[in-house]
Amino acid sequence: MEEIKEMPEVQVEESENKCGCKCKCSCKCLPYAIMGVIALAVIALYFIVLSPKCCSSSTDEVAVATDEQLPIAYVNMDSLLAKYNLSNEIQDQLISEQERARATINQKANKLQADARDFQTKLENRAFLSEERARSEQERILRQQQELEQLDAKLTQELMAKQARMTDSLFTIIQGTIKEYNAEKGYHFIFGNTGNTVILYGNPGYDITNDILTLLNK
């Protein structure tokens, strides 16, 4: 078998390369040149890609291109309910019934207070013919007071129950309208925003409140 001869040592002359430094191998300065090119590329990428976003964030309303829009949307429920005709009619109806109930309670309360004052006056003036007669009048007034409290509680519960039924009916209509609207639009998610409790910020391009409101008020 032939003997493997040792490779002769390669002599590299010390030379001054273009970067200005003296070294035994001109490729040692190559990584620094590459790093410089990469740094310039990163800076250019920042100004091309990131700078427009920084500038656009200074405005609240940013237009969303149709081909870039995600399949999501949101409805501002506060604004919707405030401008929805049926919602305002229901609200007015509930307020009217509450005012009538309060008027009934106040009328009976005023009558009860008058009876109580009359009883106290008669009691102080010893106008009752007997202690039994005074006790009977006192029990009647206490019974009326209890009945008034029960009536107040009953009317309040009835109003709350009616408000719950009408609210459920209202939201059933809204949900049905949104479902019909989305049959054409094809959103994957439609969020409801009430008082910024669900969506802290939303691009106006995803706001479909006015579209839904137009359909509801037809």
Q: What's the pLDDT tens digit per position in 162-188? A: 999 999 999 999 999 999 999 999 999
For tokens 């604004």, name the residue: 79
Mean pLDDT over each residue of the chain, to the nearest integer: 76
Identify the domain boundary among 58, 88, 111. 58
**In a shared domain, residues 54 and 76:** no
**In a shared domain, residues 131 and 47:** no
**In a shared domain, residues 26 and 124:** no
Residue 132, domain member (yes or no): yes
Q: Which tens digit of pLDDT belongs to each residue from 113-147?
A: 999 999 899 888 888 888 888 888 999 999 999 99
**In a shared domain, residues 163 and 80:** yes
- CA 170/CA 89 separation, integer angstroms: 11
**In a shared domain, residues 201 and 151:** yes
- What value does the mean pLDDT take over residues 54-64? 45
**In a shared domain, residues 100 and 161:** yes
Task: Report the domain count for the chain.
Answer: 2
At 15 the pLDDT is: 44
The helix (run of H) or strand (run of E) holding residue 192 is: strand 189-193
> Mean pLDDT: which of 42-46, 100-104, 199-203 is highest?
100-104
pLDDT above 50 (res 58)? no
Tokens, residue 124: 């102080």
pLDDT above 80 (res 106)? yes
Residue range(s) defining the domain that contains residue 183: 72-216
**In a shared domain, residues 81 and 52:** no
pLDDT class of 159 with cuts at 50, 70, 90: very high
> Helical H runs in 85-205?
85-124, 131-185
**In a shared domain, residues 35 and 76:** no
At 131 the pLDDT is: 87
**In a shared domain, residues 35 and 105:** no
Describe the crossing of helices 131-185 and 85-124 by its angle, rounded to 10 degrees: 170
User: 191 and 79 in contact (C-beta within 8 Å)?
Assistant: no
- CA 109/CA 102 separation, integer angstroms: 10
Evaluate the CA torsion angle 20, 23, 24, 26 in order and state its sign: negative
- CA 93/CA 159 separation, integer angstroms: 11
15-16 and 22-23 beta bridge pairing: antiparallel
**In a shared domain, residues 87 and 195:** yes
Confidence (pTM): 0.60
